[in-house]
Amino acid sequence: MPVAVPSFGVISGAQVQEVLTGQEKKIAELVESTYRLHGSGDTVNPPSYFLRFPDRPTARIIALPASLGGESAVDGLKWISSFPENVKEGIPRASAVLILNDHETGYPMACLESSVISAMRTAASAALAADWLSRDRGRPTRVGFVGSGLIARYIHTHLVGTGWSFEEVGVHDLAAEHAEGFRGYLEGSAGGGRITVHRSAEELIRSSDLVVFATVAAVPHVTEPDWFAHNPLVLHVSLRDLAPEIVLRSTNILDDVEHCLKADTSPHLAEQQVGHREFVTGTLYDVMCGTVQIPTDRPVIFSPFGLGVLDLAVGKHVHDEVRRTGRLTVIDDFHSELRRYG
């Protein structure tokens, strides 16, 4: 059959949310299958590229190119910005688009608003890790969130949507109004649990069996290993909260070793301190395959750098669903120069 140039469609954030709302179990399955493809070598996931600004040191825009094999093969690029100062103006820190390229021709075939896709895949990855890493330890019933923004909300939603319930839910944020806002969300959500806003990270960590870090911290601010003496499960989603001393005394599970040990993440700082990677126990894929066992006598830290292939998998699912239901906005003349010699 002759190769055809694909049409080009645009998918709004509202359409993304319509497809993904209430689909936590579906997205968890999709993320797990993508991790398995990645672990088996059926992906290409090069290093992320960081655009930084001398006049705006807290801001960055990141390019995540990737290629996903399997039955829903697709290539593409996530272009996501992180401008923490936005929060002061009452708008979200992150914004993003996702470009999907046709796997056969390489032509771009869609542009999707991707802040929701990014949040969904991040939350699904965290909830999936919480499930796999607690199977031999017992499921935690006391969860604490350090950082109370959009990612924390999505992680809580994904935990509850994949069958978790809690006796206690703790919240700590440097901004009291953000912590109270998250409390308001929790009071209206499922999952149960007595809600406590903690005055300090130490107080929250010591009272939680599952600790979620979802901050915008650029350098470690949690430095005391003794705070983790009760051996909690830690979802270190924001990657730069924990001092190397805590990392080195814990069981460390990453989503991808090469990606996580870069850009001054906490695991990267630990590697720089000791000069080796022996403190890395393995990847989530290793846990899924049964080649890594999770001990019960140490804290367990999951540090996910966030793989572009996860965005591709979720984005391709959204694209296919929007197209299937006839709601894809197609730009008919987007690809206009298609004859080699005019």
Q: What is the mean pLDDT of residues 324-335?
A: 95
Predicted local confidence at residue 1, as pLDDT? 63
Predicted local confidence at residue 88, as pLDDT? 86
* Half-sphere CA count of 149, side-chain side, radius 13 A: 21
Q: Is the pLDDT of residue 338 over 70?
A: yes
- Kindly state the percentage of the chain with pLDDT values over 90: 91
Q: Is the pLDDT of residue 182 over 90?
A: yes
Condensed to tens digits (0 to 9), the pLDDT of residues 116-156 reads 999 999 999 999 999 999 998 899 999 999 999 999 999 99
Q: Give the list of residues 6+ apart from residue 32 with CB closer than 8 angstroms, or none.
A: 128, 288
Predicted local confidence at residue 132, as pLDDT? 98
**CA dihedral of residues 69, 71, 72, 76 (deg, nearest 10):** 10
Beta bridge partners of 330: 9
CATH of domain 9-117+308-330: 3.30.1780.10
Identify the three-state secondary structure at position 71: coil
pTM for this prediction: 0.94
Q: Give the list of residues 6+ apart from residue 37 with CB closer than 8 angstroms, or none.
A: 43, 68, 69, 70, 309
Q: Sign (positive/negative) of CA torsion 229, 265, 221, 91?
A: negative
Predicted local confidence at residue 214, as pLDDT? 97
Q: Where in the chain are all domains bearing CATH 3.30.1780.10? A: 9-117+308-330
Condensed to tens digits (0 to 9), the pLDDT of residues 156-165 reads 999 999 999 9
Tokens of residue 170, six digits:
């703790």
Show the DSSP H helices in the chain as ranges: 13-20, 24-39, 115-133, 150-161, 176-187, 201-206, 244-248, 257-260, 266-274, 284-289, 308-324
- Kindly state the percentage of the chain with pLDDT values over 70: 100
Q: What is the mean pLDDT of residues 264-288?
A: 98
CATH of domain 124-303: 3.40.50.720
Q: What is the mean pLDDT of residues 9-37?
A: 97
At residue 163, what is the residue type? G
Q: Which of these, 109, 67, 44, lies nearest to 259 by C-alpha position?
A: 44
Contact (Cβ atoms closer than 8 angstroms) between residue 105 and residue 338: no
Most confident of 81-85, 266-270, 305-309: 266-270
pLDDT band at 339 (very low <50, low <70, confident <90, very high): confident
Q: Where in the chain are all domains bearing CATH 3.40.50.720? A: 124-303
Predicted local confidence at residue 153, as pLDDT? 96
Predicted local confidence at residue 337, as pLDDT? 85
Q: Is the pLDDT of residue 341 over 90?
A: no
Predicted local confidence at residue 215, as pLDDT? 95
Condensed to tens digits (0 to 9), the pLDDT of residues 57-92 reads 999 999 999 999 998 899 999 999 999 899 889 888
Contact (Cβ atoms closer than 8 angstroms) between residue 167 and residue 142: yes
Condensed to tens digits (0 to 9), the pLDDT of residues 184-237 reads 999 999 888 999 999 999 999 999 999 999 998 999 999 999 999 999 999 999
Beta bridge partners of 301: 234, 252
Predicted local confidence at residue 283, as pLDDT? 98
Q: Is the pLDDT of residue 342 over 90?
A: no
Q: Which of these, 299, 313, 265, 260, lies nearest to 283 by C-alpha position?
A: 260
Determine the angle formed by the axes of helices 24-39 and 150-161, rounding to 10 degrees: 100
